[in-house]
Amino acid sequence: MIEEEFDAVVIGAGMSGNAAAYTMASLGLNVLQLERGEYPGSKNVQGAIMYANMLEKIIPDFRDDAPLERHLVEQRLWVMDDTSHTGFHHRSDHFNEAKPNRYTIIRAQFDKWFSRKVREAGATVLCETTVTELVRDARGRVIGVRTDRTGGIIGADVVVLAEGVCGLLGTRAGLRSMPKPETVALAVKEMHFLPEELIEQRFGLNGDEGCVIEAVGTISRGMAGLGFLYTNKESISLGVGCLVSDFAAVSESPYALLEGLKNHPSIRPLIAGSEIKEYAAHLIPEGGYKAIPQLFGDGWVVVGDAAQLNNAVHREGSNLAMTSGRIAAEAIVQLKRRSHPMTKRNLSLYKVMLDNSFVVKDLRKHKDMPALLHTNSSNFFTTYPQLLSQAAQSFMRVDGTPKIDKEKATTAAFVKARSRWGLVSDAIRLACAWR
């Protein structure tokens, strides 16, 4: 029996669910949002860099009251071996603009704020409520959900699945398959608390300025992975993630990798004296374009991480989540206003709109990159970082060896490690995947 009817039910109060619920409610739809966590954000993990442009398209004046940590003025990209890092750094005073482009955030606080906006827009938000089942009619159309609160059905014209990468509803209902170990990364993260002034001193920051470091190399022990350090106001988020299939194939634990990162001579001084208050682990969808499942059907759409909409190459996820949630909501509102039913055919509008957005265009651009890095992970994450470090040290050390001999020795080291053909083949494959 249907207990109550809504225009839309949104499952999950993460970035994608909040974006969808806010957009639909503020455009006049009767929306119910269900979240299994004690409060929005209690189950969610992110580094976390938040990209302002995508939130501005949903809540233009978000800077007035959103809990933002630091706006980013500096990005460091490091290639590490066991004792050193070689980096590309970009810092610009242009990032000290009136409306900064990227901020660090703490998801538990940010999601609570976003959820308050969803309520203010008119949606009904119920936490501590797990959706246990998608309900379908005799023709297979999704017509509502069941929760762990009551036995009855909550009816909806359309159900927005924003249940995150681990979401079981869509997979159990056969709407998409379980993510494969080679298309999801397992990331672990710690929060290191330090006095505000010490963080500013260590990273050369003024006021709310922030700096982030992202690193690849021997820290991932030959697996395809990434380490990160993000500065918040009074804490540093430090984490590392690698593909689940790689963890399964080697005997490294995620925690051991994080310990290795913390004790690396380039990282240790940056977190020295900190108090660790939180440890979290979460999956990240990293299969790229080829892993995107069916995005819509009769009475349902799927958004955010649940739809594998995550750009591992550029380390973006929350912005794809917010954008897919907003676009799905806008498509639904368009259909509603034209009194078009939420059929598979009509909801294909969501995919058309998403295909035209940066979300799918960016994922399609690097569609072969995740698989390439995985296949050749020990070359890209161990051999080349070590060779790069040796080359940089040889170049910088002034010891009376003629430069021509150093260049020959560096070339010989690369050829010895990978052979000429191996080097050319890696370079071609990398260029093809990047193009």
Ligand X SMILES: Cc1cc2nc3c(=O)[nH]c(=O)nc-3n(C[C@H](O)[C@H](O)[C@H](O)COP(=O)(O)OP(=O)(O)OC[C@H]3O[C@@H](n4cnc5c(N)ncnc54)[C@H](O)[C@@H]3O)c2cc1C
> Which residues of this protein are in contact with ligand X, per CB under 6 A?
11-17, 34-37, 43-49, 130-131, 162-164, 167, 169, 187, 189, 239, 241, 282, 284, 304-306, 310, 316-319, 321
Separation in Å, CA 171 to CA 102, 131, 340, 415 = 33, 13, 27, 47
Handedness of CA 118, 122, 123, 125 (dihedral sign): positive
Task: Compare residues 49 and 236 and give the one whose CB is closer to ligand X.
Answer: 49
Task: Compare residues 328 and 388 and give the one whose CB is closer to ligand X.
Answer: 328
Handedness of CA 343, 344, 346, 349 (dihedral sign): positive
Contacts of 64 (CB under 8 A, 6+ apart): none
CB of 96 to ligand X, least distance (A): 21
CB of 52 to ligand X, least distance (A): 11
CB of 196 to ligand X, least distance (A): 21
The C-alpha atoms of residue 413 and residue 404 are separated, in whole angstroms, by 14
Q: What are phi and psi of 337, to 5 degrees?
A: -65, -30
CB of 281 to ligand X, least distance (A): 8
Residue pair 34/147 in contact by the 8 Å Cβ criterion: yes
Task: Compare residues 37 and 155 and give the one whose CB is closer to ligand X.
Answer: 37
Task: Compare residues 249 and 280 and give the one whose CB is closer to ligand X.
Answer: 280
- SS3 readout for 330-364: HHHHHHHHCCCCCCHHHHHHHHHHHHCCHHHHHHH
Task: Compare residues 38 and 405 and give the one whose CB is closer to ligand X.
Answer: 38
The C-alpha atoms of residue 341 and residue 332 are separated, in whole angstroms, by 10
Residue pair 33/126 in contact by the 8 Å Cβ criterion: yes
Task: Compare residues 223 and 391 and give the one whose CB is closer to ligand X.
Answer: 223
DSSP SS3 for 259: helix
CB of 219 to ligand X, least distance (A): 15
Look up residue 70 and give its two tokens.
């630091």
Task: Compare residues 12 and 385 and give the one whose CB is closer to ligand X.
Answer: 12
CB of 76 to ligand X, least distance (A): 14
CB of 104 to ligand X, least distance (A): 8
